[in-house]
């Protein structure tokens, strides 16, 4: 009787294991990786215009830090890179409804976004900084000094810059704009006192258009990890992305791209107006 019970337990264990294994196989078959390999293309969603992450050059081609990353990812999978330029306010719904396979577009990991989509490990850490009209040089030394109704601050609609402005500088007069370039020009032209936005853009805006007219307070006052985003429920794709990032950084490709887009201004003249 004892041997019969042992045999029954063993059979039950094998049955459960087989079912679990079958579930694993089915899950793997549903991974976006399979779709990408079958179609032989990686569709990448982003919105061009976020310097220096994704931009359009004068020949109509996309370039930037994120574009380098996306192309390297496609190459590692042996497939074609297919850019899908998408309006920012609809980029998460577009991912969820399979308009593309992944977002590589300077997206900050936030808890609210993470309820809708999954993020890879961060590929770069940025934070909010201040582009300040030059008339306040020496008078305003921190974002905290802007927390007064007499100051007008700007940022881009629907971004973490807007969230930081409203949450951390609530007393200031706030105005939102459809693009970060439009918002920065308000400060450069003296129509607004300061802009709150990601540090890389603040530095580039100050160097490219704001020299002599603005000051960059370039010590970030928020912590914002940027990551690749995919649809929920795809552990195989997530595992691949995280391992790819380790290799991308370990091989020196990440640093090479960083030096090109963040430490050089050679690309300025190539950006489409």
For residue 135, give every residue at least 6 positions away whose Cβ sits within 8 Å of its Cβ, in sequence order, or none. 190
Q: Which of 210, 33, 234, 78 is nearest to 134 (CA)?
A: 210
CA pair distance 35, 245, nearest whole angstrom: 21
pLDDT band per the 50, 70, 90 thresholds, residue 99: very high
Among 20-34, 71-85, 111-125, 236-250, the least confident range: 20-34
Above 70 in pLDDT, residue 13? no
Domain 128-217 is found in CATH 3.40.50.720: no
Give the residue extent of every domain in the chain.
Answer: 1-30, 32-125+225-270, 128-217
Instruction: For 38-47, give one letter per residue: b (16+ CB within 10 A) or e.
Output: eeebbbbbbb
164-180 mean pLDDT: 95
Whole-number mean pLDDT of the chain? 90
What is the CATH number that goes with domain 32-125+225-270? 3.40.190.10
- Give the pLDDT band (50/70/90) at residue 27: low
Q: Which residues contact 101 (CB under 8 A, 6 or more apart)?
A: 32, 35, 36, 42, 43, 44, 230
């Amino acid at each position: 009787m004892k041997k019969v019970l042992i045999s029954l337990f063993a059979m039950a264990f094998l049955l459960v294991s087989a079912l679990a294994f079958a579930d694993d196989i089915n899950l793997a078959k549903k991974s976006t990786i399979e779709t990408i390999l079958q179609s032989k293309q990686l569709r990448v969603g982003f919105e061009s215009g976020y310097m220096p992450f994704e931009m359009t050059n004068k020949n109509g081609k996309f370039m930037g830090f994120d574009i380098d990353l996306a192309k390297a990812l496609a190459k590692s999978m042996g497939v074609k890179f297919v850019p899908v330029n998408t309006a920012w306010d609809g980029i998460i719904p577009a991912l969820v409804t399979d308009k593309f396979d992944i977002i590589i577009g300077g997206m900050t990991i936030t808890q609210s976004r993470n309820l809708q989509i999954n993020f890879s490990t961060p590929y770069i850490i940025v934070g909010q900084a201040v582009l300040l009209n030059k008339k306040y040089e020496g008078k305003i030394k921190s974002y905290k000094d802007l927390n007064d109704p007499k100051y007008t601050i700007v940022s881009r609609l629907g971004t973490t810059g807007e969230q930081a402005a409203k949450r951390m500088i609530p007393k200031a007069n706030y105005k939102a704009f459809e693009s970060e370039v439009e918002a920065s020009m308000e400060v450069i032209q003296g129509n607004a006192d300061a802009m709150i936005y990601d540090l890389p853009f603040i530095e580039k805006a100050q160097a490219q258009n704001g020299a002599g007219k603005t000051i960059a307070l370039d010590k970030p006052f928020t912590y914002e990890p940027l990551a690749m985003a995919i649809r929920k429920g795809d552990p195989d794709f997530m595992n691949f992305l995280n391992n790819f990032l380790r290799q991308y950084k370990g091989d020196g490709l990440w640093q090479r791209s960083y030096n090109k887009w963040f430490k050089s201004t050679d690309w300025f003249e190539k950006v489409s107006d």
